[in-house]
Structure 1
Amino acid sequence: MKKGKWLLSLAVVGLVTIAGCGNSEGSADNSEDTTVQLGVVGADTDVWDDVQERLADEGIDLEYVEFTEYSQPNTALENGDIDLNSFQHQDFLDNYNDESGADLVSIGNTVNAPLGVYSEKITDLDELEDGDEIAIPDDVTNGGRALKLLQTADLITLDEDAQNPTTSDITENPQNLEITELEASQTARSMEDVDASVVNSGMAVDAGLSPNEDAIYLEPVDDTSRPYVNIIAARKEDEDNEVYQKVVDTYQTEQTAEVIEETSNGADIPAWEEFGRK
């Protein structure tokens, strides 16, 4: 996405622009009062709000830069317009680097946020009928993850050689379900129009849904979950930046784990406890 295009998008959603975006302070390890700009997607910053308060005590001013689509924060990070971002899982980042030639890296695990199936029309996947429509995210990694979830739920079968499967990799679809691909932010909004929708945890929370209470099917958490662990990303040259490492240290604490438990109603899992620091 062109730089001007995403900046216009941010203006539309009323972003408060922070003076010195991509400034040298964010890369200075010895600043007494350092501003770090963190790219996020959506309005759910409850966990980061708690981290933000504790970082302020360390002389680090964590500022949010809000984006509306998953396609935007990595471009901004690569261009140096923000310092870090926290919105994606490792598989999404790997795919972005492969497609763009970027060299962004994970500097810390945050949460594992299980994908969920939601519906306003049924209360159990067994109620799906032949030809019913299911919405999934349209980006490569989340779309593939959604299809794998539908396979785990025994609704479809996928080509076993497909790492990030697409709808063309569906080899069996006994109920002839119609799989509709939508931009991830639209999957929750589509629930009125489809029979079921696969929604990322953050998008579900933004839509007022509780994954543990409202999802009719949740992604299992096991060894296969590692590629979908959410992360804090930085540019490769900033991988060992002391200020950014302090952000990771402040996030990966027992206090943060308690906030994650409270704000997600137990749906999200502190990933550093399960899978390590990064």
Structure 2
Amino acid sequence: MSTNTPEPTPLIEAPKSKLPLIIGIVVAAAVVIGGLAFFLTRDDSAGGGDLKKVTLGVVGADDPYWKTYQKAAREEGIDLEVKNFGDYNQPNPAVSEGELDLNQFQHIIFLADYNVQNDDDLIALGSTATYPLGLYSSKHKSLDEIGAGDTVIVPDDETNQARGLVLLQKEGLIKLTDGGTPFSTVKQVDPSSKVEVKAVQASITASSLPDVDAAIINNDFVEDAGLKFEDALATDDPSDPKALPYVNIFAARADDADNATYKKLVKIFQSDKDVQRGVDEASGNTAELVKIPVEDLQKSLEDTEKQVRDAR
């Protein structure tokens, strides 16, 4: 038996637990993800917090200034969704039913007529611009070329129809038996008039040009049809003081008359230089940009509603 004492076996260090490292990684990742989420959702302009969501209905959402407007609204803490409609008859019921918060596509007379017909109480919350209404043709280059018996079409909604008929009378193409009012219809076109007038849906007046001699076309549909504003054979005057009922407006439910967020949207639209420049460019520099006190807009709306009722 050997008398040598065996050398002690070196101690092997026990492996350290990886749990603290894993926890550290998870915590760090959570901090990074949380910080990123805050950065993406924070409202820098309002000092933090969620953006206020507002849905706005329009006709002609392809105009570039809507994107500019959305950006300006976001900088003021408002997440603005712009929803497009192809028919003038849809945005007002959508506001009434709560599908939209606001709309912006119509003038005062149009809203007055809608309220009376539908026993509704939508209000004017702010002004935008007055747009000229024009007469266009793909067959004639001047009014003089429009001959006796030729066909001219106008929008079939009552308010724009009347406005178009008054313009046709001003240019000597027709005579209206009621003298021409904001409520004239094709029924008031004197049979002895130079041209024959028919009413069609506003959204197809431009596309119907090849089939008629001329058409009254609303500003919203001019460029979409490949037309140029300067090609109009005649227009009315948006700067005329009598044109107040044709001022385009933001419309809202009566209960939202004092909504601070909606008022802020009106202010942004009226004051942001890039938005205003975009509106003017989209109209071919024909829009008369206006900033009319809400009280005056609402009085005009109420007065016009009374005229609509009396006319019925």
Aligned to 2:309: none
Residue 203 (str. 1) matches residue 217 (str. 2): no
Aligned to 1:223: 241
Aligned to 2:150: 132
Distance 1:42 1:51, change over 3 A: closer
Max Rg structure: 2
Aligned to 1:244: 262
Q: Distance in 2 between matches of 1:86 and 1:124?
A: 33
SS for the counterpart of 2:98 is: coil
CA contact (8 A) 1:44 1:205 kept: no
Q: Distance in 1 between matches of 2:189 and 2:198?
A: 13
Aligned to 2:166: 148
Deviations 1:45-93 (A, max 9, x none): 3233222111111110110111111110001101011100011110000
Residue 53 (str. 1) matches residue 71 (str. 2): yes
2:187 to 168, 182, 198: 168
Deviations 1:3-62 (A, max 9, x none): xxxxxxxxxxxxxxxxxxxxxxxxxxxx84111100112344323322211111111011
CA contact (8 A) 1:89 1:228 kept: yes
Aligned to 1:268: 287
How far does residue 194 in structure 1 lie from its aligned partner after superposition? 0.4
How far does residue 236 in structure 1 lie from its aligned partner after superposition? 0.4
Residue 193 (str. 1) matches residue 215 (str. 2): no
Q: Distance in 2 between matches of 1:269 and 1:236?
A: 27
Q: Distance in 1 between matches of 2:83 and 2:145?
A: 41
CA contact (8 A) 2:135 2:215 kept: yes
Aligned to 1:232: 250
SS for the counterpart of 2:140 is: coil
Aligned to 1:21: none
How far does residue 209 in structure 1 lie from its aligned partner after superposition? 2.0
Residue 80 (str. 1) matches residue 94 (str. 2): no
Structure 2: which 5+ runs fail to align?
1-48, 298-312
Q: Distance in 1 between matches of 2:61 and 2:232?
A: 20
SS for the counterpart of 1:209 is: coil
- Show the 5 A alignment for 1:18-167: 32-158=50-176, 159-160=178-179, 162-167=181-186
How far does residue 161 in structure 1 lie from its aligned partner after superposition? 7.0
- TM-score, normalised via structure 1 length: 0.83
Q: Distance in 1 between matches of 2:256 and 2:223?
A: 31
Which residue identity lines up with residue 282 of structure 2 in the other structure?
Answer: T
Deviations 1:155-182 (A, max 9, x none): 222213744101111236442x111111
Identical-residue share of aligned pairs (%) = 41
Q: Distance in 2 between matches of 1:163 and 1:269?
A: 20
Deviations 1:204-249 (A, max 9, x none): 12222221x2211111231221111111100000011000000000
Q: Distance in 2 between matches of 1:204 and 1:163?
A: 22
Which residue identity lines up with residue 217 of structure 1 in the other structure?
Answer: A
Structure 1: which 5+ runs fail to align?
1-30
CA contact (8 A) 2:63 2:282 kept: no
